[in-house]
Amino acid sequence: MSNAVSARDYVTAEKLLLEEIQRDPHSLRTAHLLDFAGDIYFLNSDYLSAAIAWKKSEAITPLAPSLRFSLAMAYIRMGYPDWARTVLVSLAAQQPKEALYPYWLGRLDYDAQHYADAIQNFQRAVTLSPTMARAYDNLGLCYYSQNENALAVDNFRKAIELDRGSQHRSPWPYLNLAVTLQSLNQLKDAEANLHEALRIDTQLAPAHYRLGSVLEDIGRLDMAVDELQRASALDNRYAEPHLALARIYKKLGKADAAQQEVQAYLKLHSNSNSGSAPAAPSRP
């Protein structure tokens, strides 16, 4: 079984685990096997099966906090934030000094557009873990959503300051700061932050899209076209670069090219799975 997991042959690993579980479905050993099966399902992006395995294990013996957190993440991936919230609230009550739980409660509040509640949770997270860069980044998103741009900028900059020392740097605080600066017409600084985001991740389509938008505002239309084409090439479900390209082509007098981009945008935008970039900052 370990060989199958090491080789990422999750289907084989799942089959071997199920055979062992069926031998004695109510034993403590089976609970441990179900825990492991949940991990395998999660790694294979089968979040429903992961949740079922962990709930079956929980019926035998209580889940460890780490597995309960994984269960909450599975619920989020499945589109059941209320189920995830119940688990996270319980974990936060039992481990009040752990920053991860208020952070994720803040994520759920942000997605539900409950920005005041999200701010409280993210502030709780940074109180518990002052170096948690992603909590500051998400605080910035909340403040931006409430049109408190100065606070948004401060928190994005704090996230960037903390992230500089990270082994795995994130481009998102730079991208989010750039969107805010663009809205404030601070285009030179916005462009600089987008270049930094792309130094960290050259394949980040939203950063190419936003850089194209900033370059359009500056008036460097040919360079803007290059960035927007790059964004759409990196993500063929991404609608917004096509609309921006249509606008630029119209400015350049390229009516046929503009119409083609409009049609591409409409086709993608009508698809519920479109990789649209919001006007507001975003997060991974």
Q: How many residues does the chain have?
A: 284
Domains of the chain by range and CATH?
1-70 (1.25.40.10), 171-284 (1.25.40.10)
**Contact (Cβ atoms closer than 8 angstroms) between residue 143 and residue 152:** yes
State pLDDT tens for residues 175-191: 999 999 999 999 999 99
**Contact (Cβ atoms closer than 8 angstroms) between residue 216 and residue 248:** yes
- Residue 117: predicted pLDDT: 98
- Residue 275: predicted pLDDT: 44
Q: List the pLDDT tens digit at each of the 284 positions of the chain.
A: 454 445 555 556 556 666 666 666 667 888 888 998 899 899 989 999 999 999 999 999 999 999 999 999 999 999 999 999 999 999 999 999 999 999 999 999 999 999 999 999 999 999 999 999 999 999 999 999 999 999 999 999 999 999 998 889 999 999 999 999 999 999 999 999 999 999 999 999 999 999 999 999 999 999 999 999 999 999 999 999 999 999 999 999 999 999 999 999 999 988 744 444 445 566 65
- Return the ∠ at Cα 120 (arms to 119 and 126), rounded to 5°: 85
- End-to-end CA gap in the chain: 33
- Residue 271: predicted pLDDT: 74
Structure tokens at 19: 């055979």
**CA 211/CA 220 separation, integer angstroms:** 11
Distance of CA 55 to the CA centre of its chain: 26
**CA 125/CA 162 separation, integer angstroms:** 14
- Residue 14: predicted pLDDT: 59
**CA 159/CA 246 separation, integer angstroms:** 34
**CA 155/CA 143 separation, integer angstroms:** 9
- Residue 195: predicted pLDDT: 98
Q: What share of the chain is helix, strand, coil (3-state, %, to 5)?
A: 75, 0, 25
- Residue 1: predicted pLDDT: 45
- Residue 5: predicted pLDDT: 43
**Contact (Cβ atoms closer than 8 angstroms) between residue 181 and residue 189:** yes
Q: Is 9 left (phi over 0), alpha (psi -120 to 50) or beta?
A: beta
**Contact (Cβ atoms closer than 8 angstroms) between residue 144 and residue 280:** yes
